[in-house]
Amino acid sequence: MQDSSSKKILIIRLGAIGDVVHSTVIAQAVKTTYPQHEIHFITASYICPLLESSSYVDKVIPFEMKHKDNIFYLFKKGLELRKEKYDYIINLTNATRNFIMIYIAAPKQLVKRNAKRVHAVDAFFNTACDAFGDLKKPEYLDLGINKTALEKITNEISEVKHPIIILSPGGDNDLQRQGRIWVDEYWTELGNMLVEKYNASVFVIGSKTEAKNHSRYSAIKNARIFSGQLSLTETAALISKCDLFISGDSGPLHLADAVGARTIALMGSTHPRSSSAYSQNGTFIEPTISCRYCGQRKCKMLSEGEKFTPCMASVKPQMVMDVIEKNACFN
């Protein structure tokens, strides 16, 4: 018999975008089973706008990452959380800053992330089950889309012909973990193949820091470079309007999955078992090199200054085209 009383719950996941998107499954699963529960989510301030359209999160609390190591800020934030009188705090990382805030917030019960090695979404769902018992597992993530951003994007691309294919090359933001970014020239080659075969409209997305490097993709016929031009909510809205989204293992990949886009993930050092798209709209391409899925941040086969790992370089543009044709992505 379900508990009909109302509980106040806080989820702590400060970053990164992909991890925050994955962890929203907790709010989705709990709120679906216990609609009377009040769910709050604290995350990095720049990610907050993504969660504000979620029908499963009642309050989004911003955390300023520039103050993440400031004990006075952490103490102040903890006092802010303490006023909420949480029944549960679900802590999804072992960062010391989290524990400082939790100690001051003094919840009735602390829930830690389930450590079982499965897909990240399943791990977060299992965490929710640890706290609240049997829950219905969502078949897909449902992040929600900002209505204002969606209206703006819809108007902006209303005359664009389909299929619309979004490429997310990544770059500077991914270099902390080698084996996630694809060869620059491959993106250009793939883009032109897509235009030639499907008469596609190709959009390239990325952050402001990636915009300069992404200007090279203007070599793709019919390409439009959005890198550095959109807010996070506008990026989500744009992705929701595409026919296909192609990316390495990245935050935008998981964002695309959570707004219902069809995705192809180009895998390298990270395993699709834990890092590929969660929904059935997603597929992935495996590297052909034997040391794939090493899980290491640095590739032992790369020399100083080299950028693209052998595992990612082994995924060729024609392999992507073959997957698109096999899955009849535009039929």
Confidence of residue 1 (pLDDT cuts 50, 70, 90): very low
Whether residue 146 has pLDDT greater than 90: yes
**Amino acid occupying residue 94:** N
245: which 2 tokens?
A: 């989204």
Convert the pLDDT of each residue in 6-62 to its tens digit.
999 999 999 789 999 999 999 999 999 999 999 999 999 999 999 999 999 999 999
Convert the pLDDT of each residue in 148-185 to its tens digit.
999 999 999 999 999 999 999 987 655 667 888 999 99
Residues 296, 90: Cα–Cα separation, whole Å: 28
Convert the pLDDT of each residue in 10-19 to its tens digit.
999 997 899 9
Convert the pLDDT of each residue in 227-286 to its tens digit.
999 999 999 999 999 999 999 999 999 999 999 999 999 999 988 888 889 998 899 999
Residues making up the chain, counted from first to last: 331
Which DSSP string do the residues of 26-39 spell out, in sequence order? HHHHHHHH-TTSEE
Helix (H, G, I), strand (E, B) or coil at 272: helix
- Give the domains, in start order, of the chain with CATH numbers: 8-132 (3.40.50.2000), 147-326 (3.40.50.2000)
The dihedrals phi and psi of 218, each to the nearest 5 degrees, come to -65, -10
